[in-house]
Structure 1
Amino acid sequence: MNNIRIAIIGVSTRSSSLIHGIHYYRNKKPVDAIGLLHWDIGGYKPGEIEVVAAFDIDERKVGKDVNKAVFASPNSTTVFKTYIPDIGISVQMGKVLGKDSDVMKRDAGRETSLLDNHKGSTRKEIVRILKESGAEIMVNYLPVGAEDASRFYAYCALDAGVAFVNNTSVLIASNPLWSLKFEYKNIPIIGDAFNIKIPIMASLNSAGIAIDAIRCAKLALIRGMGGVLLAASEYFCRQTIGRLTEEEPRNMIEQFINDEEYSCVHKKA
């Protein structure tokens, strides 16, 4: 079984946690792993995820190997895997979008290190990279407030035919219009914004949630499911379209994992 191939949008502290987590779990056994819903989801173990593309607009990250870029300033994630080898995938220049670039500048820290003189990649170029890389799932880690950029990459995911996992507070999965866009193209989407339940272990918990959500998105792809994955969105995310009791999301996600007919908006005939 091949690894799940993902594209990362925003090489941030949160995406650094994901990359640390993937490598951390590769050396663990089921009894040792914490922060995960299940060790095996859809036949995939937590370390069986591969970054095949990444996009950012910070000159401290663009052009670097992804596994080096995650350590670049201003990222400050807890390091729970001290050695992460290069993977031979460089961070690509993303799209600079008007007011969102100001958000990125504030997020980048005191000294602006954005590639201000670079026009950025076009939607067509990003879609091409996604397709050529073989990416199956896009994970959005853009900073809070980067609304135009998050929607831009959601369109790129639709154009490239890759699933979309939205770990930002920008309402995409929980927006009915966006939900219909993904349903129409039969592409899975999970969102919005991961629900970090254990702040004292935020980095590892964030990695575990992302790894579980990615594996659920892959499970949907295998099953031919599209649209909002309700069970996964309700269980993993803060911004959702449902109003459920505390117990219901856990029951839903377990049923989703074990029953392919459960908790998706649309299933291809």
Structure 2
Amino acid sequence: MNPELAPVVDVDDSSTWPDQLAHRVHELAEQRQGLIDDPAEFGCSDLDLWERDAEVRQLLDGYLLRGYHATRLLAHETDNIRAHGLRLFDAKLGTARLDTAVEHGYLTTDEHATLIQGMALTSNRVGQICLFLSKTTLTEDAEGLNLLLAAWGGEAIYMPHVHTDNPINTKLRSIGIPSIVVALLDLRASPTTTAFPGVANVFIGASLGLSSLTVDVFYRAPIAPAHIERIIHPGDVEYPQHQGLPQT
């Protein structure tokens, strides 16, 4: 990793938390300790911490926050992300992915036409990159990640087709490889980024030892190649052998 980058904060590793953040998170966690009978049955989404989110995000100012983007990639797309980073999704990017898939022989021109016509450019998909902040999501919410990893193209491309029994569905599930892109997020570069149920929830949940730390981040800035740490595929040590995750 580039040694000139800001320090990296990892939700799953409290030793990386800045002192001020760690102190405040542990303080807030103590206030909620009595509400939790069993950490294994209590998720960070159950913590009512919206009013603390801005405070916790401010304590991350000057740091990079490690996140994970789940998708399915063709070989040339993996190389492209390493070289150029992650772009915000829009019609141009969706079309470019389909065009290059044809150029590399993954799609026919007829399949390309069908996918272009059906591309779902809805407001909840355009202009953002979707990530999660804790590796616990890979096992605790594997079902929620399954389709992202099992079908190529991203939701805007595959969603109109994957719940039907047709050749396009079969094709999208047969090309590419499940991929977890590990990226470093600068929340200052994307002040309109949102997180559900909140950045505060995931840190305080981690401090409380909750087993489920699933928080979805909708990041609204491109991620530069210097902020791409690695890309994990099945067979790598970090990719779980979990029955809910596709292995091919």
| Same fold per superposition (TM over 0.5) | no
Bigger Rg over Cα: 2
Query: Normalising TM by the smaller chain, what interval?
Result: under 0.3
Q: With structure 1 as the length reference, what TM-score do the two structures score?
A: 0.26
TM norm structure 2: 0.27
